[in-house]
Amino acid sequence: MEPSKNAVVLLSGGMDSAVALALARRRGFEAHALTVDYGQRHRAEVSCARRIAAALGAARHIVVELDLRPFGGSALTADIDVPKDRALGRAAQEIPVTYVPARNTILLALALAWCETLGAEDIFIGVNRIDYSGYPDCRPPFIEQFERLAQTATKAGVEGRSRYRVHAPLLDMSKAEIVRAGLAAGVDFSLTHSCYDPTPENLACGRCDACILRRRGFQEAGIPDPTPYAP
């Protein structure tokens, strides 16, 4: 039997990256989960990420501290209100204020660093373009450009020993499809956190974009959402 290949899996603690981790495991990778604590409001994510990594059998889990708050510019890291009760649709073109500048570029760069020390060439990221069509760094041209960059940025890439691949298995799934794929791959969604703006008791607000998309996903999949929402 071939030994398993190592992969680095970006794991936020939300539902999408948990499903990405489960799918990486299903495809036979030794998953090295990477979480970035970037000063986000919804830091409950980080402890969720720890539980998810353990539950899904990650070989290792690193939490990198990276404070992005000095840059400002996002409702997730700056003192800007998280929008509530927005009408969300697949046609949403505007980039929401919850976008964190260059976030996925930064996350993939960190994943690439770990790949280099691990000798891995596979990165999993739970981006999805259906619900977040407004985020530039959740689209295929971005993913493809990053693969090309990885090839020229690294020792193993330049020497032709590694062929870097960024796997985005959820790219074209609806939220309901993500729920179903996650259940099929053994994700315990009660360990995942989506809300951008939880209450002090860590109940999900139920009204931010992330809560709305999550609730709708479970609803459309016909599966109960285990999230405790604020009344």
Residues that bind a copy of itself (CB under 8 A): 62, 64-68, 70-73, 95, 99-106, 108-110, 112-117, 136-137, 139, 141-142, 145-146, 148-150, 152-155, 157-158
Residue 56 or 112 with smaller CB distance to a copy of itself: 112
Q: At 34, phi and psi to the nearest 5?
A: -125, 120
CA distance 214 to 196: 12
Rounded Cα–Cα distance for residues 212 and 216 (Å)? 6
- Give the separation between CA 162 and CA 226, rounded to whole angstroms: 41
Q: Which two tokens stand for residue 193?
A: 């956190």
CB of 196: closest distance to a copy of itself in angstroms? 18
Minimum CB separation of residue 149 from a copy of itself in Å reads: 4
Residues 6+ apart with CB under 8 A from 117: none
> What type of residue sits at position 50?
R
- Least Å distance, CB 139 to a copy of itself, is 8
Least Å from the CB of residue 62 to a copy of itself: 5
Min dist CB 77 to a copy of itself, Å, is 10
Token pair for residue 29? Answer: 């990778």
**What's the number of CA atoms in the CB half-sphere (13 Å) around residue 159?**
6
DSSP state of 164: -
* Residue 136 or 228 with smaller CB distance to a copy of itself: 136
The answer to whether 22 touches 186, Cβ cutoff 8 Å, is yes
The nearer residue to a copy of itself, 32 or 207, going by C-beta atoms, is: 32
Instruction: CB nearer to a copy of itself: give 55 or 109.
Output: 109
CB of 47 to a copy of itself, least distance (A): 17
Nearer to a copy of itself, 157 or 169 (CB): 157
Identity of the residue, 100 or 179, whose beta carbon is nearer to a copy of itself in the bound complex: 100
Say which DSSP state 208 is in: B
For the chain, the C-alpha Rg in angstroms (whole number) is: 17
